[in-house]
């Protein structure tokens, strides 16, 4: 499987210049190819990234000699990226590709194709990475994964350069000894995550403070004159803060998804109806901030890597309103009620823990029924392997313990 590790770089001035030039070349090639694509399409031809790459290669020496400085990789990979963007568009997974602007997602990619060896290839030794045509650049930390390096994308974020290294790793890696047991996770706006074991996890505290700082700086920016040096300064501050907030969020989600996939080999999760919840104003902010989709994505790929199963249950399952003791659904339950008493059996529930227990139960039963009868009413992505266990009697007793 492919794993990606993003590492901050420590380039010197010469290397910074090379990065900026390469990112500029990549952007130019992407935009050039997109314009040609549109021209050819209107003329009734069928454009493709392969033909466009050939076309650019043939003319760049005469027409754009400055492109040669950045090497072959940056323009080639940029046009390949355009091909991917069009593929996504054709499959209705993304919008029509747009022209790239300077200063927005500046990046370029170096690819280790099968024929690349020696000087042309991306290599890593300890805390250094070798970028073709440039040489060795210092990294802030060593590469986390072992395996063959497939490609490296160098990108700029808030005035700092990063490299994302894609590595071909073995299917199951660093399988921890303690990943046993099953858990249901309720993702909420009140607590970031509540487990069926009763444990609750909060969003990191500095986060809120940074959000109010963000508002303040946004105000500063809007007061400064457009095009002024002072506005530029404030915009730069804003970018840095955005990056810091994104880092914090990502750190928090990574820590949690790592912990959960380390500790449990079966994880039940609810497919949140994010669109429906977004219309509810109070929840909207918290949900957009905490990135539920990202969290789910992390659980799924880390689970796959560590050999644990992630099952996502249907969003219409009444996880909050069902009593986990007597299974009766309490339709009168309001959103503000954090604890409630079941009118049927009288058990008092913590809203989130009760939901987490229900999620685990539903996920476990849908996974078991998937072994026997095929998928009956549960949602999963194709990234997750199913069924999660062979149907053996002792597997069932394992869940009986947890439930």
Residues that bind Zn ion in the complex, under the rule CB under 5 A: 323, 325-326, 342, 344-345
CB-nearer residue toward Zn ion: 300 or 361:
361
233 token code pair:
């300064």
Quote the least distance from Cβ 186 to Zn ion, whole Å. Answer: 18
State the DSSP code for 68.
G
Radius of gyration of the chain (CA): 25
Q: How far is CA 291 from the centre of its chain?
A: 9
Residue 289: C-alpha distances to residues 79, 254, 282, 284, 345 (Å): 33, 15, 12, 8, 37
Quote the least distance from Cβ 390 to Zn ion, whole Å. Answer: 34
**Residue with tokens 């909060």, as numbered in its chain:** 202
Residue 399: C-alpha distances to residues 17, 134, 198, 205 (Å): 57, 55, 17, 35
Strand order in the sheet with 135-139: 107-111, 148-157, 160-168, 2-10, 135-139, 128-131, 123-125
CB-nearer residue toward Zn ion: 339 or 344:
344
Q: How far apart are CA 95 and CA 261, in angstroms?
A: 33
CB-nearer residue toward Zn ion: 325 or 384:
325
CB-nearer residue toward Zn ion: 77 or 358:
358
Quote the least distance from Cβ 352 to Zn ion, whole Å. Answer: 17
Q: How far apart are CA 377 and CA 290, in angstroms?
A: 28
Residue 395: C-alpha distances to residues 110, 312, 336, 352 (Å): 46, 19, 38, 27
Which phi-psi region, left, alpha or beta, contains residue 334 (left: φ > 0; alpha: ψ -120 to 50)?
beta
Strand 193-195 versus strand 107-111 pairing type: unpaired
Are 166 and 152 in contact by the 8 Å Cβ rule? The answer is yes
Q: Which of 72, 75, 67 is nearest to 49 (CA)?
A: 75
255 token code pair:
């820590």
Are 159 and 240 in contact by the 8 Å Cβ rule? The answer is yes
CB-nearer residue toward Zn ion: 172 or 347:
347
251 token code pair:
């750190």
Quote the least distance from Cβ 383 to Zn ion, whole Å. Answer: 36
Quote the least distance from Cβ 218 to Zn ion, whole Å. Answer: 48
Quote the least distance from Cβ 376 to Zn ion, whole Å. Answer: 25
State the DSSP code for 203.
P
Quote the least distance from Cβ 200 to Zn ion, whole Å. Answer: 22
Torsion angles phi and psi, residue 356, rounded to 5: -65, -40
Quote the least distance from Cβ 329 to Zn ion, whole Å. Answer: 10
Are 207 and 39 in contact by the 8 Å Cβ rule? The answer is no
CB-nearer residue toward Zn ion: 323 or 364:
323
Residue positions annotated with a catalytic role: 186, 270, 352
CB-nearer residue toward Zn ion: 148 or 331:
331
CB-nearer residue toward Zn ion: 145 or 340:
340
């Amino acid at each position: 499987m492919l794993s990606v590790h993003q590492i901050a770089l420590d380039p010197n001035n010469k290397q910074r210049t090379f990065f900026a030039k390469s990112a500029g070349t990549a952007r130019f090639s992407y935009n050039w190819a997109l314009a040609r694509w549109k021209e050819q399409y209107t003329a009734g031809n069928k454009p493709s990234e392969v033909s466009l790459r050939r076309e650019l290669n043939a003319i760049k020496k005469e027409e754009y000699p400055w492109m040669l400085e950045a090497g072959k990789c940056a323009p080639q990979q940029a046009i390949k990226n355009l091909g991917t963007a069009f593929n996504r568009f054709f499959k209705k997974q993304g919008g029509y590709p747009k022209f790239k602007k300077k200063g927005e997602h500046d990046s370029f990619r170096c690819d280790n194709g099968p024929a690349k060896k020696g000087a042309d290839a991306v290599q890593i030794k300890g805390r250094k990475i070798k970028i073709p045509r440039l040489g060795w650049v210092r990294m802030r930390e060593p590469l986390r994964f072992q395996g063959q390096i497939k490609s490296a994308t160098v990108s700029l974020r808030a005035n700092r350069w990063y490299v994302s290294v894609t590595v071909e790793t073995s299917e199951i890696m660093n399988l921890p000894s303690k990943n046993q047991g099953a858990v249901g996770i309720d993702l909420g706006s009140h607590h970031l995550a509540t487990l069926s074991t009763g444990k609750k996890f909060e969003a990191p505290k500095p986060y809120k403070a940074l959000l109010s700082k963000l508002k303040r700086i946004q105000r500063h920016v809007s007061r400064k004159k457009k095009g002024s040096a002072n506005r530029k300064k404030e915009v730069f501050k804003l970018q840095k803060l955005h990056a810091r907030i994104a880092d914090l969020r990502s750190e928090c989600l990574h820590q949690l998804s790592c912990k959960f996939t380390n500790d449990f080999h079966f994880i039940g999760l609810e497919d949140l109806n994010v669109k429906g919840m977004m219309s509810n104003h109070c929840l909207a902010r918290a949900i957009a901030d905490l990135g539920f989709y990202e969290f789910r994505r992390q659980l799924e790929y880390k689970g796959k890597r560590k050999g644990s199963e992630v099952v996502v249950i249907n969003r219409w399952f009444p996880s909050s309103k069902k009593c986990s003791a007597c299974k009766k659904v309490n339709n009168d339950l309001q959103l503000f009620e954090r604890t409630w008493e079941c009118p049927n059996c009288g058990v008092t529930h913590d809203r989130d823990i009760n939901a987490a227990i229900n999620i685990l139960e539903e996920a476990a039963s849908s996974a078991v029924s998937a072994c026997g009868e095929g998928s009956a009413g549960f949602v999963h992505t194709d990234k997750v392997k199913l069924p999660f266990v062979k149907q053996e009697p002792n597997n069932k007793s394992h869940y009986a313990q947890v439930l």
